[in-house]
Structure 1
Amino acid sequence: MPFTIAIIGRPNVGKSTLFNRLVGQKLALVDDEPGVTRDRREGEGRLGDLEFTVIDTAGLDEGARGSLTERMQEQTEAAIGLADALMFVIDARAGLTPNDRAFADFARRANKPVVLVANKAEGKHGEIGAMESYALGLGEPIQISAEHGEGLSDLYDALRALMPEPVGEPGRTDDDDFAGTDEELAKRPIRVAIVGRPNAGKSTLINHLLGEERLLTSAEAGTTRDSISVEITWQGREFRVFDTAGLRRRSRIEEKLEKLSVADALRAVRFAEVVVLVMDSQSKFEEQDLRIADLIEREGRAIVVAANKWDLMGRQSGLVSALRTELDHLLPQVKGAPVVAVSGLMGQGVDRLMSAIEQAYAVWNKRAPTASLNRWFEQAVDANPPPAVSGRRLKLNYITQVKARPPSFVVFCSRADAVPQSYLRYLVNSMREYFELPGTPVRISLREKVNPFAHKRRRPS
């Protein structure tokens, strides 16, 4: 197991900035508003030759019983329980506060090694605040600036003293997950982003998959702010699932923090391999649902539609079939995408959803055999030849698959700019049916065949 470090402290001391610095990416949202982080977030941190798991947590704060703040505190306590060591962060420019002193006692009671980090320590005021932190009784403060990358060598020394030896595989990044043979890809977790409008039940659904209250849920829309990844195993297959903030229409987004949350959700879509669009079954296929589905298709990701809160729909027959028909009508570009009725609260349909994700991933990775591809192409062109443009016939020579993820093809032809989009849609629909590619984006681009005699001059008559 990798060495695990939890970053704790009161709100707005720079915990998420330090987390982003250690993982080398802007994974956690950062804003001047206190309490941006709500769920705990894990990442693979690296400092010099040290590699470890680092957990970003919600700011330690007191809340009323049953409130969202209290449940945020419970998430932080769970992170502390998982950690081998703690980084207790204070704001050196603000100096010590009563909350810092109270939560320092909380950190001591955890009975785990604590590294005291005085963040925002650049400048004279920061140095004074760092000196005050000796009063916490947590040892010598490590003065750093997470935003500017100052003082990390001292932090390295403090962490190195806690770790017996460097942990992990040096030089590995998340981008490496997209490289490798088909056999290696089959062993790697499938990246799944759960997206949808606010309050569609995304976090509740993931909590049921995990079998624990890992993500905060609330009747209030917008509880989830940044994208949180969790590991799930289903029937021996590994999944990395990303919970995201609800996506509203751009015109309704006013606060800066919500803009950051939406941008983080869009990054999760681009990072994923399969995207599950969660809809409220009582208000399905609203304009925003269609916009999100169109975005997923344009990003080239496999899509699965989950009609959530199905337990509220009663026992009416034929509703799921009607949903599939409506989806094909409204979104022909993802025709045949799987539609699954689920209830994240009651656990209904969860097995069918995971099976649909696995099948959508397999289709997204599909390659058409060359012989079958040529046979289909000849039949499709013979059955419906391309229209003549300005009295000149368009000649489509041959087709080849250039890649999968999603399935992408190139058609070599005589005049690429003259082939109408309607004819390309015909080819896509025909291919989708012939090769059984339901729901996944299919890309067909055109390329003019090189004339081997174009460089030779014509002889004078």
Structure 2
Amino acid sequence: MSFTIAIIGRPNVGKSTLFNRLVGQKLALVDDMPGVTRDRREGEAKLGDLHFTIIDTAGLDEGPKGSLTARMQEQTETAIALADALFFVIDARIGLTPADRAFADFARRADKPVLLLANKSEGKHGELGAMESYALGLGDPIQISAEHGEGMGELYDALSRIVPESEDEEEEREETDEERANRPIRVAIVGRPNAGKSTLINHLLGEERLLTSPEAGTTRDSIAVEIEHKGRGFRVFDTAGLRRRSRIEEKLEKLSVADALRAVRFAEVVVLMMDAQHRFEEQDLRIADLVEREGRALVLAVNKWDLMEAQPGQISMLRRDADHWLPQVAGVPIVAVSGLMGEGIDRLMQAIVEAYAVWNRRVPTSALNRWFEGAIANNPPPAVSGRRLKLNYITQTKARPPSFVLFCSRADAIPQSYLRYLTNSMRETFELPGTPVRITLREKANPFAHKRKRPN
């Protein structure tokens, strides 16, 4: 099992900046405003030849029982319990604060190895603040600058004394191959604010892993969690709610939205959650269109279904609404769920697995061209400027999503309506519901184009 380290400290001391540097990606949101990080976030970190799991946590802070601040601290306490060691981070430019002293006692009570990191130590003021930190009684401070990468050598020396040696390369390679063969499906949960995304994931996990609140906008980072459902692995990303661009004003919300969009691009299947009482609103349709343009498999989850009054034919009505409002992903799976009550969860997870399989589907070339000949015979391409368009043959170039190249004459003259006809016919024939289908037009080379006419 991987050695795990939790980064702790009061708000705005640079914990997320250090997390991003160690994982080698900007996974955690960073801003000058305190309290940006709310949920705990995990990543695979590397420092030199040391490999370990790192957990970014919310800043240790106090708040009334049951409040969002108090539940953020509970998430941090859970991360400390899971960790094998702690990075206790202070802001060397500011020096010690009463909160640092109080939380140093908290770190000592954890009874785990603690490395004291004096962040933002660049410059004279940082040097003085680092000297102050000896008073915490947590050993020699390691002076670093997470933003500029200074002090990483000293951190490596200290860390190498507590991180166990890695397994040999051969064992690691075999483990990686096995993981790749059984790789979990990457799923992003997206939707408007307060659609119930975090509540759904918490129910899947069976614990309050992600912070939830009636207040819209509780989730900021795109948090990834590992879930196993009926023997199948999933890596699920909870994302910030996506609002219309005109309503996004604060810098932090813009960062959260950008993080959510990155999660969509990283995912293989995207679950668009809608409120059952306010479904298929303009922003829902925009998000679905974004997912289609990014080429990801899509599943619609209509949440808070337990609040709807039972009426006959409601599920059929959902199906008709989905096909009406989202013709570009005709047949997209749609599931009525209640994240709070746990209703419809099995159907949702099955829909994700099936959408993933369709997204990866390859159609044999012989079957594809038999369909192609029949589709053209049933509905020939229109004549443009009195000349009939010639469609030669079609082949699949890749899956994820299913993508095809159609060889033809005068590619620029083929109308979009005819391409939609081919796409819908292909969906129906080869059972490709809901997934994006790409058809690229390519003009067949003229074998006589290079020959010059002979002079008379």
Q: Partner amino acid for 1:15? A: K
Where 2:393 maps in the other structure, the secondary structure is strand
TM-score by length of 2: 0.97
Question: Any stretches of 5+ residues in structure 1 without a counterpart?
Answer: none
Contact 1:2–1:167 under 8 Å retained in 2: no
Rounded Cα–Cα distance in structure 1 between residues aligned with 2:112 and 2:310? 53
Q: Identify which range, 48-57 or 184-193, moves more after superposition.
A: 184-193
Q: Partner residue of 1:359?
A: 354
Q: Partner residue of 2:413?
A: 418
Matched, 1:428 2:445: no
Question: Any stretches of 5+ residues in structure 2 without a counterpart?
Answer: none
Rounded Cα–Cα distance in structure 1 between residues aligned with 2:449 and 2:19? 58
User: Aligned-pair distance for 1:321?
Assistant: 1.2
Contact 2:45–2:54 under 8 Å retained in 1: yes
Contact 2:3–2:164 under 8 Å retained in 1: no
Contact 1:281–1:313 under 8 Å retained in 2: yes
Q: Partner amino acid for 1:386? A: P
Q: Partner residue of 2:96?
A: 96
Q: Partner residue of 1:65?
A: 65
Contact 2:189–2:238 under 8 Å retained in 1: yes
Q: Partner residue of 1:105?
A: 105
Contact 1:20–1:27 under 8 Å retained in 2: yes
Q: Following superposition of structure 1 onto structure 2, how do residues 21-170 of structure 1 map, counting pairs within 5 Å?
A: 21-166=21-166
Where 1:161 maps in the other structure, the secondary structure is coil
Cα displacement string for residues 193-230 of structure 1 (whole angstroms, at most 9, x for unaligned residues): 00000000000000000000000000000000010000
Where 1:162 maps in the other structure, the secondary structure is coil
User: Aligned-pair distance for 1:232?
Assistant: 0.3
Q: Following superposition of structure 1 onto structure 2, how do residues 378-389 of structure 1 map, counting pairs within 5 Å?
A: 378-389=373-384
Q: Partner residue of 1:261?
A: 256
Rounded Cα–Cα distance in structure 2 between residues aligned with 1:202 and 1:34? 24
Rounded Cα–Cα distance in structure 1 between residues aligned with 2:181 and 2:366? 25
Matched, 1:215 2:210: yes
Distance 1:341 1:111, change over 3 A: same
TM-score by length of 1: 0.96
Aligned length: 453
Among residues 184, 199, 214, which one is paired with 1:204 in the alignment?
A: 199
Q: Partner residue of 2:3?
A: 3
User: Aligned-pair distance for 1:318?
Assistant: 1.3
Cα displacement string for residues 91-112 of structure 1 (whole angstroms, at most 9, x for unaligned residues): 0000000000000000000000
User: Aligned-pair distance for 1:184?
Assistant: 7.6
Cα displacement string for residues 126-183 of structure 1 (whole angstroms, at most 9, x for unaligned residues): 000000000000000000000000000000011100012136979x9xxxx9xx9xx9
Rounded Cα–Cα distance in structure 2 between residues aligned with 1:188 and 1:453? 49
User: Aligned-pair distance for 1:3?
Assistant: 0.3
Q: Partner residue of 1:325?
A: 320
Contact 2:51–2:166 under 8 Å retained in 1: yes
Q: Partner amino acid for 1:117? A: L
Alignment RMSD (CA, Å): 1.5
User: Aligned-pair distance for 1:460?
Assistant: 2.5
Contact 1:3–1:167 under 8 Å retained in 2: no
Contact 1:51–1:168 under 8 Å retained in 2: no
- What fraction of aligned residue pairs are identical, expressed as a percent? 81
